[in-house]
């Protein structure tokens, strides 16, 4: 059974509103849609899409929840795996499901003016790589899988340490 409806958002336009309480880490919905691969020279912002890989985005089917999934700098939900939208904490019926777009978006030129009204609103939201490492760590469990697979959550020092642990320390950096 669906756990939400599309209703009036307190953030922007219409949003995904919970019809019942959900528990932390519970899947609220799976972001479904056509997967597109953007080849070089064809970059442009696709509203409401979810990035799921290097140069890969899911375009939400019309009327689907993904189409109305708003951004908040104080998100209630995040991404598990490729495209599962899960609760970041226990949520109450009536709360809006909103993710931090920067936890899945890495296109370098992407940015968005934000009016989410959260106390910690960044005003301009930029891609993952521009996020402070403290925030990256805080939300690591709710970050798109391809970002973790690409080791984009690590800073240079952590990356070198990981390489050394793997025995790849023959190269000099
Ligand atoms: Zn904001």
Could you tell me the CATH number of the domain that includes residue 88?
2.170.270.10
Domain for residue 45, yes or no?
yes
Domain for residue 171, yes or no?
no
Q: How far is the CA of 24 from the centre of ligand 1 (A)?
A: 22
Residue 167 banded pLDDT, cuts 50, 70, 90: confident
Q: What is the pLDDT of residues 27-61, one digit of tens each?
A: 999 999 999 988 766 666 667 899 999 889 999 98
pLDDT at residue number 43? 61
What residue numbers bound the domain in which 74 lies? 4-165
pLDDT at residue number 131? 94
pLDDT at residue number 100? 97
Q: How far is the CA of 111 from the centre of ligand 1 (A)?
A: 12
Is residue 61 a contact partner of residue 29, using CB atoms and an 8 Å limit?
no
Q: Where are the beta strands (DSSP E) in the chain?
A: 4-8, 14-18, 27-30, 33-37, 50-53, 56-60, 70-71, 77-80, 84-87, 96-99, 112-113, 124-125
Domain for residue 155, yes or no?
yes
Q: How far is the CA of 118 from the centre of ligand 1 (A)?
A: 6
Residue 169 banded pLDDT, cuts 50, 70, 90: low
Q: What is the pLDDT of residues 104-143, one digit of tens each?
A: 999 888 889 999 999 999 999 999 999 999 999 999 999 9
Q: How far is the CA of 170 from the centre of ligand 1 (A)?
A: 44
Domain for residue 105, yes or no?
yes
Q: How far is the CA of 74 from the centre of ligand 1 (A)?
A: 7
Q: How far is the CA of 123 from the centre of ligand 1 (A)?
A: 5
pLDDT greater than 90 at residue 71: yes
Q: How far is the CA of 162 from the centre of ligand 1 (A)?
A: 33
Domain for residue 23, yes or no?
yes
Domain for residue 19, yes or no?
yes
Q: How far is the CA of 135 from the centre of ligand 1 (A)?
A: 14
Q: How far is the CA of 143 from the centre of ligand 1 (A)?
A: 17
Q: How far is the CA of 81 from the centre of ligand 1 (A)?
A: 24
Domain for residue 88, yes or no?
yes
Backbone angles phi, psi at 27, to 5 degrees: -75, 130
Nearest to 95 by CA among 164, 152, 22, 1: 22
Q: How far is the CA of 99 from the centre of ligand 1 (A)?
A: 11
pLDDT at residue number 40? 67
Domain for residue 101, yes or no?
yes
Q: How far is the CA of 67 from the centre of ligand 1 (A)?
A: 19
Mean pLDDT, rounded, for 78-99 = 98
Q: Provide the percentage of residues in the chain whose pLDDT is more than 90.
A: 75
Total domains, the chain: 1
């Amino acid at each position: 059974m669906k756990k939400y409806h599309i209703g009036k958002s307190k953030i922007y336009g219409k949003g995904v509103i919970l019809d019942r309480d959900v528990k932390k880490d519970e899947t609220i919905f799976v972001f479904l849609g056509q997967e597109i691969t953007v080849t070089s020279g064809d970059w442009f912002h696709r509203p409401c899409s979810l990035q799921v890989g290097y140069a890969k985005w899911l375009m939400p089917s019309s009327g689907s929840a993904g189409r109305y999934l708003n951004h908040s700098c104080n998100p209630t939900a995040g991404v598990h795996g490729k495209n599962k939208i899960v609760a970041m904490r226990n949520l109450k019926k009536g709360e809006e499901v909103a993710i931090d777009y920067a936890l899945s978006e890495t296109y370098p030129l992407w940015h968005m003016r934000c009016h989410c009204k959260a106390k910690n609103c960044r005003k301009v939201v930029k891609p993952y790589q521009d996020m402070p490492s403290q925030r990256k760590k805080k939300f690591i469990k709710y970050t798109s899988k391809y970002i973790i697979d690409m080791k984009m959550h690590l800073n240079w020092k952590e990356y070198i340490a990981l390489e050394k642990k793997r025995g790849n320390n023959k190269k000099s950096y």
